[in-house]
Structure 1
Amino acid sequence: MSGPGPLLGPDDPAPVDVRNGEAVSPFLMICDHAGNAVPAALGSLGLAQAELDRHIGIDIGILGVSVRLSDRLGVPLVFQRYSRLVVECNRRHDAPDLIAPVSDGTPVPGNAGIDAAERERRLAEIVAPYHREIVARLDARAAAGLPTVLVSMHSFTPSLRAQPFQRPWHVGLCYGADDRFSRPVLAALEAEPGLVIGRNEPYGVDMATSYSIPVHGEERGLPYVEFEIRQDLIGEAAGQALWAERLERVLRRAHAAFAGG
């Protein structure tokens, strides 16, 4: 499933897309796992479509939430179209699960025994364009003197197959040492009725292996928030709309508190 020459062909989707790119906002939103496309050159990675449609292949529902939230807030959204099983855009290049041979107990035949050239091909054609777009936008905002809060959008499965456990959180925030913006977001979420909120649950930010928040947030010194929304709550359009409306309120309240408004 690997070979010389370009990975992406003329009929493959572009690896990165932007919505509301000209919007002027205190926020820049990113979505690492918005899609589950696989380059034609890789077939289906040896997987049934049902596997690519699972949480191992895509952050279910999060693009629908992100698009709606981008429109409601007037926020630029940068999102990535390829499956995390092709290459994981939120990992350092030396992370062991950058190209996972097994994910949540499911073997990925197209990732078994790939060589360094294939690894580099996936990095160069999928990961690099996505992060270049984010860097270019952050650099342009910095040059213009426009303060930026980075908003990273993710979703999580209610239970892993390999480690069955019903995760109780409706939404979690993931943060590292810099929790400047996570704190007012937590306060705003707590004002929303009936939510079970995770603090670095179901995941935290791993500075050694994760990429987007460590590099674009922590290393730049930018305030940020990383949302993780449980997938059964946003699998359909109605839930996506509800969560976009909710996060619009939360981000407006949090930013007002953060900016001293």
Structure 2
Amino acid sequence: MEQTVAERRQPPVGRLLKQWRERRRLSQLALAIEAEISARHLSFVETGRSTPSREMVLRLAEHLEVPLRDRNQLLLAAGYAPVFSQAPLDSPELRRVLDAVRTVLRAHEPYPAVAVDRLWNLVAGNATLPLLTAGVADHLLRPPVNALRLTLHPDGLAPRIVNLAEWRGHLLGRLRRQLGLTADADLAALHDELRGYPGGTPAVELPGPGDVVVPLRLRHDDGELRLLSTVSTFGTPLDVTVQELSIESFFPADEATAAHLGRPVR
């Protein structure tokens, strides 16, 4: 059967595995020990002298913590069919997953919470989301809504963020770490776009007394809301879409914010 153009351009699996190993800063010996194979065998796989079995590809990908999306690409490069599904969120297969996400978001009210995909596009938000989107330009609220663009764009949330340089540095740092783990070209393009927005560069400072996390300090009415955020993901995903979902939940960082949002700090 004649190969397609995409298949001919696909790098060999050995080269891809080597790239992932180097991205994880592992030597051949270290990866071989973790995967319980010989360093010689791994060397042959990386150089193309040995064709890995499907099980070997998956074992190495597991120890390299390769995202499911890219594990499918490794399998294709090795001549095997992908094994991890990628169902749309609105598909019957993921109905329970989406229901679970919405349940978590509702349970977090009256505090804001959002669910985003791998590119930080908004999947769902709870009833308190307008607290964060108030005053944002309409063009940033047209689907797909990108949470990072909405936050850092000059027409977005940025003018309301008191500590914009600090929060911008925090978000760009998270994005760089995600990019380092995934080498995702779409994330790289998003990072380049966001870097071009105004907002300043945060000074390198030691934490002050009592500082434990970076809060989002948001101008609201005549005062200021201070919010902490946490990120949750599914612990045992077997679907690409599910693995790439994350929920960001915001909590009040002080009593005044909690009182404004309608629930006392315990």
Higher relative contact order (CA 8 A, sep 6+): 1
From the two aligned structures, give the one with the greater helix fraction.
Answer: 2
TM (normalized to structure 2)?
Answer: 0.25
